Chains A and B, each alone.
Chain A
Amino acid sequence: MKPARRRFDCLVIGAGGGGLRAALQLAQSDIHVAVVSKVFPTRSHTVAAQGGMNAALGNVTPDNWHWHMYDTVKGSDYLGDQDAIEYMCRAASRLVVELEHFGVPFTRLDNGHIYQRPFGGQSQNFGGEQAARTCAAADRTGHAILHALYQQNIRAKTHFFDEFFALDLIRDEEGFVLGALALEIETGEPLLIEAKTTLLATGGAGRMYRTTTNALINTGDGMGMALRAGIPLEDMEFQQFHPTGIAGAGMLITEGVRGEGGYLINRDGERFMERYAPHAKDLASRDVVSRAIAIEIRDDRGCGPQKDHVLLKLDHLGADIIKSRLPGIRESAIRFAGTDPIEQPIPVYPTLHYTMGGIPTDRHGQVVIPEKTGPEEAVPGLYAVGECACVSVHGANRLGGNSLLDIVVFGRAAGNHIVQYLDEHRFHRALDAAQVDRAMQRLARWEAHGDGESVPTLYNELRQIMEQYCGVFRSQEVLDEGLSKVRRIRERLIDARLQDHSRVFNTARIEALELENLVEIALATVSSAAARTESRGAHSRVDYPDRDDVNWMKHTLYTTDSEPLDYKPVRMRPMSVDAFPPKERVY
């Protein structure tokens, strides 16, 4: 069967903040752009971002982009690429202002300027006093930004394919990406979207872990597509655990709670972060705080009858601050933890939150892979931005407030670069039918009838394995065991079967296709983690507790079914300022 066909200058896959910011840039440049999203755009996971977006506006404390750059490099545990970090931090202020002009209802200071709150890892003057750099719309900043970006896109008449699931990239013999095959969920019909450029903005893969702050849709579909197109994933061992997910449930409680003055206590009522980070305390970097909580619990100082969580105390902030600046997390705490934070502390536990690694790109959003000429050769016609990409501005650990920034900065940068690319590549290339057939195989495979394990069975087992074998603390033995377990899941997935083969809105089929992506990404994650024999940022090895800059100051590159892993150097040279050389990281 030959699928129906559409043609665009640019195909954007994913309608979160990254995809929508890029699409807006393109639509405003008179580029014929289509956005494919498996959910209606405002259901994308950007909507769940709470605390805010970093930019050195200096509205509350003195600030400048260079300090922000320093904090980001340090936060990344020196694995971030310093050219991309400089680019992001320099662009931040202008892009926050632009979002404000788009209509984002930022919280305001008395003088009418945008309100900024302190977040973890922020400092003035290269490691000095705490800065307040995070621009916030109460604790619903992601919602406010995503809706404003969607609204601006409908104003700009961007073409949307809502509830279409992208199956695979179409890539020709010479390596050019020519678009993607998608599945219209409502009809079950495939649709071939030919495009001169394709941008992946499909978000993270947090759903490979059992307990996560991530939405059910965060299944790393773009990363899966990249792997199947022979493109490596970079630094997948770096998975961020957010210190304050609601214990047992996983819903996010923003770092903004600690930014507003909340703090963590153990079963003795002790404010234990003072021991782990004497200077920054509860506003140390996320990896540091998550490890501290895990140690408190391991050493029997956890709270509750099972001693399996710690408490986040904020009642001392008073009802007014909580109601005006943290209304959303109050709602979540009442619903999912059964406690009103105006009166009671919230039980929290480190929860899988963010994928630092992803599809390797440069600071223009171009996907870059080691091929003929060097470690960073552009894949013609392919771009990636946001959580699915690895620029890398987050390195081994992302700072809170830098992901909303990342998606807007690099969404826009990719849009601009695509405009330039289209100037030089004005025509669609010939499409190879064999490539389309290969993509169609993904659908055909699930047409098989008969007995076999179910998708939810394997999905739940995978998530359990990842939590148990690739968590906050890792060791060779545990990772190796995890790796063989994930491989076994991958083998069993081949014989899994759907019972429902209907066409119309078959969500079971979508979940099967999502699981295929998750399994490949889990394999990338555990493989990369098992190989890195050092501790850096979110990758914490009990058997190699120190950072090893001599051997490991490099990015991991994992390609499906290709061993051993490949590596590439960290880009240490910023665009215009001096590099920040690695030093010991204390908060």
Chain B
Amino acid sequence: MKFSIYRFDPEAGDKPSMQGYELDLVDKPHVRMLLDALIELKAVDESLSFRRSCREGVCGSDGMNINGRNGLACITPLADLAEPVVVRPLPGLPVIRDLIVDLTQFYTQYRAVKPWLVNHDPEPETERAQTPAERAELDGLYECILCACCSTACPSFWWNPDRFLGPAALLQAWRFLADSRDQDTGERLDGLEDPYRLFRCHTIMNCTDVCPKGLNPTRAIGKIKQMLLKRAG
């Protein structure tokens, strides 16, 4: 199988380039996902660099751009990929080396939405009750693995990474706004009421299209907008 992989070595001082690789898949039934192939290639060329951890789509380490589309290497079957498989780092972020990008901006945006539960009542001795229906509001939100596939697929993020929070952070903002136990609604909305932070979303929906967990940040952003409009009205 043929691959064309983005290479960048900051110490060599060269410009980034695409490097061709070939991997013989005969007698390698365990090589089924793109990550498996990258590991095989690295066993031959150890300078090829990428992040990985869980290898089953739950930790969010190996987000990359695969044949033009952001996704997780560990759950992208090789059988579904046209050759040569073109693998690039996630777009729109500084590249540290090869497929490894600098995610500082992405994590800063995550922190900016204060992604933690706030409840000012005295701590009860038992759990805070939540009905199954209230809990169901969190489905499709809490599962985010912070892989950055969505934000780095978003043109608004590319243009205004310093001012627009991006789909991943906004999904988290909604995850807490939607939680029946959270009491920080007013402050959360104040923090988002701004021409850029939230409203730069133009519902292009790249985020929802690429999310490897099948989540829908566009819908979450829409919900926040509705909440703000309701508050204004």
Contacts and interface: CB of A to CB of B under 8 A. Distances in A.
Interface of A: 39-40, 42-45, 47-48, 96-97, 100-103, 105-114, 137, 140, 143-144, 147-148, 151-152, 154-155, 186, 215-217, 248-249, 251-252, 328, 331-332, 335-336, 454-457, 498-500, 502-508
Given A154-B116, A216-B52, A108 B135 contact: yes
B24 interface: no
B55 A216 contact: yes
A40 B102 CA distance: 12
B46 A251 contact: no
Contacts of A507: 42, 49-51
Interface in B6-41: 9-11, 29-30, 32
Question: Which of A42, A215, A249, A454 has most B Cβ within 10 Å?
Answer: A42
B126 to A, nearest CB: 6
Contact of B132 (A47, A110, A508): A110
B34 to A, nearest CB: 12
Contact of B127 (A114, A186, A251, A502): A114
Interface string B107-124: 100010011110100010
Nearest to B98: A505
B58 interface: yes
Contacts of A508: 42, 46-47, 49
Contacts of A144: 142
Given A215-B53, A502-B9, A503-B11, A47 B58 contact: yes
B119 A498 contact: no
Nearest to B111: A154
Given A154-B111, A499-B46, A505-B49, A43 B60 contact: yes
Interface residues of B, number: 56
Question: Which of A152, A154, A331, A507 has most B Cβ within 10 Å?
Answer: A507
Contacts of B61: 39-40, 43
A217 B62 CA distance: 13
A508 B123 CA distance: 48
Contacts of B52: 216
A251 B36 CA distance: 14
9 contacts: A42-B145, A47-B59, A100-B128, A108-B131, A108-B132, A108-B135, A216-B52, A456-B43, A505-B49
A387 to B, nearest CB: 15
Nearest to B102: A186
B53 A216 contact: yes
Interface in B43-100: 43, 46-47, 49-61, 75, 77, 96-97, 100
Contact of A147 (B50, B77, B134, B142): B142
A140 B57 CA distance: 12
Contacts of B187: none
A332 B212 CA distance: 13
Contact of A42 (B42, B59, B77): B59
A502 B181 contact: no
Question: Which of B56, B135, B138, B176 has most A Cβ within 10 Å?
Answer: B56
A456 B54 CA distance: 18
B103 interface: yes
A47 B145 CA distance: 9
B142 A105 contact: yes
Nearest to B116: A151
Given A42-B145, A47-B59, A504 B97 contact: yes
Contact of A504 (B11, B60, B114, B142): B11
Which 3 pairs of residues, A with B, have the shortest CB-CB distance? A103-B117, A112-B129, A508-B46
Contacts of A186: 96
B162 interface: no
Contact of B123 (A101, A103, A151, A217): A101
A112 B131 contact: yes
Contacts of B115: 151, 154
A106 B42 CA distance: 40
A97 B59 contact: no
Contact of B53 (A148, A217, A331): A217
Nearest to A109: B132
Interface string B126-152: 111111101100100011011000000
B125 interface: yes
B89 to A, nearest CB: 12
Given A39-B53, A42-B146, A504-B96, A454 B116 contact: no
B59 A48 contact: yes
A55 to B, nearest CB: 11
Contacts of B209: none
Contacts of B132: 107-110
A244 to B, nearest CB: 14
A20 to B, nearest CB: 13
B30 to A, nearest CB: 7
Contacts of B51: 39, 43, 507
Given A328-B58, A508-B42, A113 B127 contact: yes
